[in-house]
Amino acid sequence: MNKKVLFLIILLSISAIVFVYNDDFLYSKTIMKITNIETIETDVSSNPLGLEEEHYTKEISGIITNGTHKGEKLTLDYEETFSSVVTEKYRVGDKVFVVSNEIDDLKRDFYLVILASVFVLFMFLVGQYRGLLAILSVIFNSLVFYFGLILYQNHMNLTLICIVESIIFMFSSLFIANGINKKSMVAILSTFVSMTVLFILTFVLIKCIDYSGINFNEISFITVPYADVILPGLFIGALGAVMDVAITIASSIGELIEKDSKISAKALNKSGKEIGKDIMSTMINVLFFTYLCSGLPVFVLAIRNGFSIFNYISTNFSLELTRFLVGSIGIVMTIPISIFIAIKILKKGSEISE
């Protein structure tokens, strides 16, 4: 481990945390640091189902930390609910934005920088330079995604944007994090072939069923045809899992060939299938839990308001289930495709080098 780089990361992290905690002067909104919180009134409300929730009126005092009134004391009343669904729970020491003598929101940049610093530190401790390159690929992909949204605002086709972005994501994620080598090329080619087949298959199935069986309640607020959004969402949602499977298969078969250059294609195929079986279950479960937790808040809200589990799943969770199924199909399909491409390219390259 490069101790100089580790020391530099720690130093930059501490500097960033200290700076962000004291960057109030950069904001045009008034910022107040909370010094005291007192509950002055407690009330209980109930809904038609008889479920009760406590409401609190709190007196929050603090000191203004920026602007022309810096250093002045300020006391405000604040309405808080027990669930904190539409309100915040503030603590002494928090910094909040104040607009028109009312607390507007929590100043979160300090906490975000702490999390980001811990993330970067652990990425370097575990992955060394590859960990830092992985972070770089995430930043790059975020910028590409943002640029795609700008193009969509300028009336470009969203499906076309997502297809182009997905190709860029493939190259950037695998080349930046894993370097330009045969394994990365195999993973990119496997991902490209798998995603192409998955896209065609999904497009044909959706056209055949005409989105029957999928309830779009959770995206009812959009003002564009849902067909413009669903297919790109399904496509990008499956991309990460497909890339993960492709690089895992490519790296595993590459390692087997490096250990024994005379290993037969039949043995590689058998080993690849065993590896695929091992990662298939975990990757599918990763997708399931990812989509499950994305709908968990609304799920709890529905149950608390008298909806049955079956009613909620059929009316609000069908889209998440569709995303999960499409991604799972992509995972299963990528395993044989990656094995075939990896053996053809890596095994052939090994024979040529001999």
pLDDT tens digits, residue range 230-251? 777 778 888 888 888 888 888 8
- Please, which pLDDT band fits residue 349 given cuts at 50, 70 and 90? low
To the nearest whole percent, how much of the chain has pLDDT over 90? 22
Q: With b meaning 16 or more CB within 10 Å and e meaning fewer, what string describes 222-254? A: eeeeeeebbbbbbbbbbbbbbbbbbbbbbbbbb
pLDDT tens digits, residue range 265-304? 888 888 888 888 888 888 898 888 888 777 777 777 777 6
pTM: 0.74
Within a 10 A sphere around the Cβ of 341, how many other Cβ atoms? Answer: 24
DSSP state at residue 42: E
DSSP state at residue 225: -
Round to whole Å and give the CA distance between 319 and 230: 9
pLDDT tens digits, residue range 92-110? 999 999 988 888 888 999 9
Query: How far from 265 is each of 260, 269, 276, 278, 354, CA to CA, in Å?
Result: 12, 6, 16, 20, 16
